Amino acid sequence: MRGSKGPLLWIFSDPEALSRAAATLFARRARQAIRRSGRFAVALSGGQTPRQAYEWLARSPCRDAVEWDRVHVFWGDERCVPFEDPRNNARMAFEALLNHVPIPQDQIHPIACADDPKAAAARYERILRDFFGERPARFDLVFLGLGEDGHTASLFPFSPALEEQVRWVVAVEEATPPRVTLTFPLLNQARLVAFLVSGANKAGILREVLRSPPNLRQRPAQGIRPIGGRVLWLVDRAAGSLL
């Protein structure tokens, strides 16, 4: 574990241990948030890494430890493909978790952007602004992944989306498929951001992100610095092998 100044780093023996820890973290943060404010606002990550964590969360004991009727689920980003497409992040989360827990459907907010990414981004921003209302726009927990190029959510190196200072959600039309992503202004209001990073193929980029001088255009994940929040890195031994 790193010191209290920088991000906290937890290294686990394997992907299963990482996933169980992520599921336990979700349940613990949910309990704290619901006790504090009566609800738990979480943004899920896409990609493959979080799948096993979501599956652990859908099983006892984690499943039984969460007051699902107080949970509000959003996504950090989405690929602009139909829900049925195996690349769709919401589809993965429904398969692994949301179809198996008693969360009210109107508290689950997928980013539906298969048709018009720009319009979908504006619509999602409206949903978020209506949800947070007069309260601070602070997710209680954001799960994020790390791409081999240093991207996180759909904030890719040298993308115009990295420069966004006002909007909370933007379309990333230069990607294939196009994407919709939360931006730094919203992500950096989170109380806690937990990166889940697994596999030897992430060892190089993880070392760069954690050890190289900040360069958020080259390594967007370095731009995740929540104001008044914390960053936690949950990595397995393979991903952490160069640290």
CA terminus-to-terminus distance, the chain? 12
145 interacts with ligand 6PG by CB under 6 A: yes
Name the residue type at position 155: L
Q: How far is the CB of 152 from ligand 6PG (least distance, A)?
A: 5
46 interacts with ligand 6PG by CB under 6 A: yes
Cis peptide, bond prior to residue 213, ω within 30 of zero = no
Residue 153 vs 209, nearer CB to ligand 6PG: 153
Give the count of residues interacting with ligand 6PG (CB under 6 A).
16
Residue closest to ligand 6PG, measured at CB: 145
* Choice from 45, 88, 189, 222 touching ligand 6PG (CB under 6 A): 45
Map tokens 């890494």 to a residue.
49
Residue 138 vs 151, nearer CB to ligand 6PG: 151
* Choice from 31, 109, 147, 177 touching ligand 6PG (CB under 6 A): 147
Cβ proximity of 237 and 10 under 8 Å: no
Task: Point out which span in 22-30, 62-70, 99-107, 150-158 binds ligand 6PG (CB under 6 A).
Answer: 150-158
Q: How far is the CB of 35 from ligand 6PG (least distance, A)?
A: 29
Could you say which DSSP state residue 235 is in? E
Q: How far is the CB of 194 from ligand 6PG (least distance, A)?
A: 12
183 interacts with ligand 6PG by CB under 6 A: no
* Choice from 49, 52, 189, 222 touching ligand 6PG (CB under 6 A): 49
Residue 19 vs 189, nearer CB to ligand 6PG: 19
Q: How far is the CB of 60 from ligand 6PG (least distance, A)?
A: 25
Alpha carbon 106 to its chain centroid, in Å, reads: 20
157: left (phi over 0), alpha (psi -120 to 50) or beta: beta
Radius of gyration for the alpha carbons in the chain, expressed in angstroms and rounded: 17
Residue 19 structure tokens: 């996933």
222 interacts with ligand 6PG by CB under 6 A: no
CA–CA dist 168, 175 (Å, integer): 18
Residue 170: name the closest of 182, 154, 157 by CA: 182
For 151-234, where are the alpha helices, taking DSSP H only?
184-187, 203-211
Q: How far is the CB of 125 from ligand 6PG (least distance, A)?
A: 18
Name the residue type at position 170: V
CA–CA dist 3, 11 (Å, integer): 14
SS3 28: helix
Mark 64-103 with x for binding to ligand 6PG (rule: CB under 6 A) and - for no binding.
Answer: ------------xx-x---------x--------------
Binding site for ligand 6PG (CB under 6 A): 45-49, 76-77, 79, 89, 145-147, 151-154
